[in-house]
Amino acid sequence: MDERPIQLQVDDIHLSFGGVNALMGVGFQVYKGEIFSIIGPNGAGKTSMLNCISGRYHPQRGRIVFEGREITNQPPATRAEIGISRTFQNIALFKGMTVLDNLLIGRHIHLKTGFLKGGIYLGPCQREEIEHRKFVEDIIDFLEIEHIRKKIVGTLAYGLQKRVELARALALDPKLILLDEPMAGMNLEETEDMVRYILDINQERGITVILVEHDMGVVMDISDRIVVLDFGQKIGEGTPDEVQKNPDVVRAYLGAEDETFLGR
């Protein structure tokens, strides 16, 4: 893993809301092409860290560097443009629009045609739309959602909506994708499907994945490395085997050193 280039560097991140410290001195690095998971008990700061990486939150101290470029204070749109996309713990789709339209919206940062040419819809504008539609249709095939492509998102089952949200994140053509509890609320079959898609995104498309997930079986099975947070601080980092043997991590989850933790 150390032979891969560092794609994301997070250094000494401090984030607070009034008197509440959400993150205190958290740092780690993510290598290009890996599946990197952030775990911890409820309230540990996992989603806050994703929000710092995606630009939704700006930390009071520390820095975030993506592919050699500091992005600590850059807005979310800039981060999307340079290749960072995300899904949300609570589904954030346009429920009154079709699956296809939701995915096309995910391509908006790549639009180059100006307002006037777009209004006339000739030449470059037509070619650009055809190109974006081809890209979106490839994602639809990849995630096996052809049968719902024209369905209104709000009418779909929860598991399918989660898959559509993943598809929209892929529509940005990211280099790094942040997944915030993509398996939450899913049954066993839906979870297995989502795991397969995440692995395919990583292995077939070469996209780096940062995963926040409460299903420890999934995390331990698919992660290259894991960082563990507790009350806003990093208490462990390493491979799945190393993390499972870390007494601080075991204590954070169970309150005692019990190596039956995480299915051991």
Q: Which domains does the chain have, with CATH numbers?
A: 1-83+175-264 (3.40.50.300), 94-173 (no CATH)
Do residues 13 and 26 lie in contact, with contact meaning Cβ atoms separated by under 8 Å? Answer: yes
66-82: per-residue pLDDT in tens?
A: 999 999 999 999 999 99
Reported pTM: 0.88
Confidence band, pLDDT 50/70/90 cuts, at residue 106: confident
Closest CA to 195 of 187, 154, 141, 31: 187
In the chain, % of residues over pLDDT 70: 88
160-197: per-residue pLDDT in tens?
A: 999 999 999 999 999 999 999 999 889 999 999 999 99
Cα atoms in the Cβ-side hemisphere of radius 13 Å centred on 98: 11
Which runs of consecutive H residues, i.e. helices, occur in the chain? 46-54, 76-81, 99-105, 115-120, 124-142, 158-171, 188-203, 216-222, 240-244, 247-254
Specify the pLDDT at position 111: 61
Rounded to whole angstroms, how far apart are CA atoms 233 and 229? Answer: 5
User: How would you classify the pairing of strands 176-180 and 208-212?
Assistant: parallel
39-53: per-residue pLDDT in tens?
A: 999 889 999 999 999
203-229: per-residue pLDDT in tens?
A: 999 999 999 999 999 999 999 999 999
Confidence band, pLDDT 50/70/90 cuts, at residue 18: confident
Rounded to whole angstroms, how far apart are CA atoms 84 and 67? Answer: 11
Sequence-distant (6+) residues with CB within 8 A of 20 are none
Provide the residue type at 162 as one letter.
K
Rounded to whole angstroms, how far apart are CA atoms 74 and 55? Answer: 7
Closest CA to 110 of 88, 129, 86, 91: 129
The CA distances from residue 63 to 47, 103, 168, in Å, are: 17, 31, 28
Question: Beta-carbon neighbour count of residue 188 at 10 Å?
Answer: 7
Rounded to whole angstroms, how far apart are CA atoms 171 and 86? Answer: 11
